[in-house]
Amino acid sequence: MSATRHILRAGARCLRSDSIIASSSPAASLPSSPFPSRARFSTTSSARNVPTAGISQSIPPTSTTTSGQNPEAQTQAQPNRPDHETHFGFQTVTEAEKTQRVAEVFSNVAETYDRMNDFMSFGWHRVWKDHYVSSLNPGSHPPFSTPPAQHILDIAGGTGDIAFRHLAHAHTHNGNPNVRVTISDINPSMLAVGRQRSIAQLPASQQAALSFLEANAEDLRSAGVADNSVDLYTVAFGIRNFSNIPLALSEAFRVLKPGGVLAVLEFSKVDRFPLFNAVYKRWSFGAIPLIGQLVAGDRDSYQYLVESIEKFPSQREFRDMIVAAGFEVGGQGWEDLTGGVAAIHKGMKPVRA
Ligand SMILES: C[S@@+](CC[C@H](N)C(=O)[O-])C[C@H]1O[C@@H](n2cnc3c(N)ncnc32)[C@H](O)[C@@H]1O
């Protein structure tokens, strides 16, 4: 069987699955988070002191014991290592420092984030997000069959753009009200905006199927996300901000059910088109920090955003990281959008993991 067909079959299997959360999680807990979290979303949290530092310092290091996982993916099983270097844009910093500075960036931009996305991408982010969610087809089921329960975890879900699309696609397009979505993010300010938007924009039935979870993607265990509990794990424009991407991928592997799907939408490389690449780079570095200054009064945060895009691995390198975490990929493992300005990577947790 080709790898692509394998993924499609397994995806269909995961959509049929009934048991969507660990038995320790109360099924009737919606709309609050289905996870027995120690780091729950709280509107009263201070934007400055809640992100990761607080979570990771108060919780013992996670041990990653999922069987079947590539051992390479288990070598970095601790978030925010103070003695390990990574990048914050073009600067070299420790993982702990990056997490703190990323938290500051998104606390600063939370209120203007959605408006800025439209300015910076000429609205293209909406097209990419629509395509991303359609390609995952959440809530799909054969005609005349009982709509299966499905739990989607939208990591780094921020202000809810992806989660809202999952719900609309599953409940309205696919007529499946049994799909629940958890928006998880490390930053309470982004989650607060997401919650306000959900109340303003979503019908009551979709609000009831939505929950919020404040958590570091590199340590979902501390937030109570059980092994093998998620059908679909999505992360859009979030993963390049993580301090330890292999660790986040190994957490994705742990929490997904066998046959469950990881789907990443992220800015990527336009190297195949040198002329377009030159124009794109000029636009990114010349205009985006300036727009950030004019629209959001914050040049530095947007300078970081363009630098973080530049530092993110190529499509091929990132595909290899997904494979190293234990996932199976179909075909080349990714789909370029707009010549590679963004790309969608997908992987499936093997059915016999
Ligand atoms: C560019 S926003 C993307 C938001 C949303 N997914 C979208 O597509 O509009 C990136 C998000 O990643 C979150 N983030 C950064 N590091 C994180 C981490 N370690 N764990 C979870 N979320 C993180 C930020 O707080 C921010 O909300």
Pairing of strands 150-155, 230-236: parallel
Domain hosting 188: range is 3-57+78-348
- Is there a domain that residue 303 lies in? yes
213 lines ligand 1 (CB under 6 A): no
- Quote the radius of gyration of the chain (alpha carbons, Å): 19
Residue 233 tokens read as 């794990």
Residue 192 annotated as binding? no
Q: Domain count of the chain?
A: 1
Distance 145 CA to ligand 1 centre (A): 36
Residues 231, 13 contacting (CB under 8 angstroms): no
Instruction: Specify the pLDDT at position 335.
Output: 98
- Is there a domain that residue 71 lies in? no
- Is there a domain that residue 329 lies in? yes
Distance 29 CA to ligand 1 centre (A): 25
Task: Return the residue whose CA atom lies nearest to atom 10 of ligand 1.
Answer: 238
189 lines ligand 1 (CB under 6 A): no
- Is there a domain that residue 275 lies in? yes
- Is there a domain that residue 66 lies in? no
Distance 182 CA to ligand 1 centre (A): 14
Task: Return the residue whose CA atom lies nearest to atom 13 of ligand 1.
Answer: 156
Residue 154 annotated as binding? no
Distance 240 CA to ligand 1 centre (A): 9
Residue 263 annotated as binding? no
Q: What is the CATH number of the domain that holds 130?
A: 3.40.50.150
Residue 159 annotated as binding? yes
Using left for φ > 0, alpha for ψ between -120 and 50, and beta otherwise, residue 122 falls in left
pLDDT in tens, the chain (353 residues): 344 444 334 343 333 333 222 322 322 233 345 554 433 333 223 322 222 222 222 222 333 333 345 544 455 568 888 878 898 999 899 999 899 999 888 988 888 888 888 888 889 999 999 999 999 999 999 999 999 999 999 999 999 999 999 999 999 999 999 999 999 999 999 999 999 999 999 999 999 999 999 999 999 999 999 999 999 999 999 999 999 999 999 999 999 999 999 999 999 999 999 999 999 999 999 999 999 899 888 899 899 999 999 999 999 999 999 999 999 999 999 999 999 999 999 999 999 86
- Is there a domain that residue 62 lies in? no
Distance 155 CA to ligand 1 centre (A): 7
20/231 Cα distance (integer angstroms): 7
Pairing of strands 334-337, 342-348: antiparallel
Task: Return the residue whose CA atom lies nearest to atom 14 of ligand 1.
Answer: 156
Residues 223, 184 contacting (CB under 8 angstroms): yes
Burial of 310 (0-12, 13-18, 19+ CB in 10 A): middle
User: What are the angstrom distances between the C-alpha of 12 and each of 135, 142, 167, 260?
Assistant: 13, 9, 18, 9
Pairing of strands 85-88, 230-236: unpaired
Helix (H) or strand (E) holding 184: strand 179-185
Instruction: Specify the pLDDT at position 90.
Output: 92
- Is there a domain that residue 334 lies in? yes
Place of tokens 């703190």: 100
- Is there a domain that residue 68 lies in? no
51 lines ligand 1 (CB under 6 A): no
Which of 312, 310, 290, 311 lies closest to 301 in space, CA to CA?
290
